Structure 1
């Protein structure tokens, strides 16, 4: 991509104010893309001034589609969907709060579908555009006490796979990426005790090298792949080995 092309290229990250989405947004902004972030909270901290923020609450079904259509730039080269809803703590299915269950579907599945509907026509004009979905090991491992999260992330992964099969890869490429372990983020910290040790957790910046590679290649070498991102910024195809279950591992067993 030439300097002129890069100056005119545009990226969108839904759920990009914190966590993995923020790692992707910062990487794309640093690479020279005009980067738009759609989220409930405004991005803060270093690099936030390089991001164009649009307030979006994916739990508000009546407004989400309209907000996306109104806020999306007229040209989009890259989209990342990283929005996710966690419950306050892990609980058995029969104890799951019904409102939490509905919110997980609203954000993890319906929000993704609405983002696809709004962005795909614009991505097609980029020739090819690239859509990155942040997936999870729960798609492959399920696990106890996270039925809503497992159900919604599996549905989201299948949705991406289905839409990818409907779409000419010369128009839009689809890539899914998931962390090899737990990632330190505000959402996770809200579920942990103040003295919790995060030293063995990944950081959102681990996703930056992959984000830059996908931007450079428009995802063409990875079209249709699910990639496991490791601490240190490397990645491997999911076929090379499933990540350890975060429910059954030492770190994942905590509430």
Structure 2
């Protein structure tokens, strides 16, 4: 782990080893933030996150993950300016409800919802201590569309979205800004590729880097004007409020 600077704002990226979370971590590093990436696998094993810190975290391990988050806040909390929650569990494939294993449901619940709960519980006091703090959750179109063959993912992401909406209503934006981001289309991530055939062409999907511009803007302004909003990010890094136009369902994409 690199030395801790005493005067540089710190940002936590939960689930930042790959995909959207990794892209956000890279952009915030380039912006000059001190970035702590929380993940099961080492994100520093590959180029692109030089200068970041890695804090091993397995959100499926309940009490252990809560303790690790508390330890991280003890170490970095006095400078914690923002938290980006990008951890997600999809499962190996889309499947009818009756074919979903209990273990898959428990992983989705632990990562998509309980992990968010633990992260909020651990980091909100530190964010409130340096107002205005910023908490950004990565959401999904399933919150608005549901859809077949992904009941567990849709249920946990919808619950997570409502959790963030509730927290946003508990605090004024002068204290903390709570924002949600979601992609307008399917995003090319390692998780998506694992659920596709090796020959599948993902070139028509969004790139994780599309989230970098809005992430940096939110960090710079600490979410000014975005408190309580869910923002849809498109393939050109353009942003719109989800209430302006609901995202299209991705239920009919290949499995």
Secondary structure of 2:53's aligned partner? strand
Rounded Cα–Cα distance in structure 2 between residues aligned with 1:213 and 1:123: 18
2:143 maps to which of 127, 139, 142:
139
Distance in 2, Cα, partners of 1:244 & 1:51:
35
Q: Normalized against structure 1, the TM-score is what?
A: 0.94
1:35: which partner in 2? Answer: 35
CA contact (8 A) 1:7 1:33 kept: no
Structure-2 residue corresponding to 1:231:
235
How big is the alpha-carbon RMSD for the aligned residues of Structure 1 and Structure 2?
1.2
* Pairwise CA distance, 1:171: 1.1
Partner of 2:67: 66
1:7 shift after superposition: 5.4
- Match among 108, 113, 117 for residue 113 of structure 1: 117
Distance 1:18 1:69 in 2: 23
Q: Which deviations, in whole Å up to 9, do the C-alpha atoms of 1:180-233 show, x marking residues without a partner? A: 111111111111111110111111100000001101110021111100001121
| Mapping of residues 1-255 of structure 1, within 5 Å | 8-43=8-43, 44-72=45-73, 73-74=76-77, 75-248=79-252, 252=253, 254-255=254-255
| 1:3 alignment counterpart | none
The separation in 2 between residues aligned to 1:25 and 1:208, in whole angstroms, is 9
Structure 1's unaligned 5+ residue stretches are 1-5
Could you list the runs of 4 or more consecutive aligned residues of structure 1 that deviate by over 4 angstroms after TM superposition?
A: none
1:168 Cα deviation (Å)? 2.5
d(CA) in 1 for partners of 2:235 and 2:244? 16
Aligned residues: 246
**Structure-2 separation of matches of 1:7 and 1:40:** 28
Deviates more, 1:36-45 or 1:105-114: 36-45
State the distance in 1 between where 2:46 and 2:228 align: 34
The CA deviation at 1:112 is: 0.1
Deviation at 1:45, TM superposition (A): 3.0
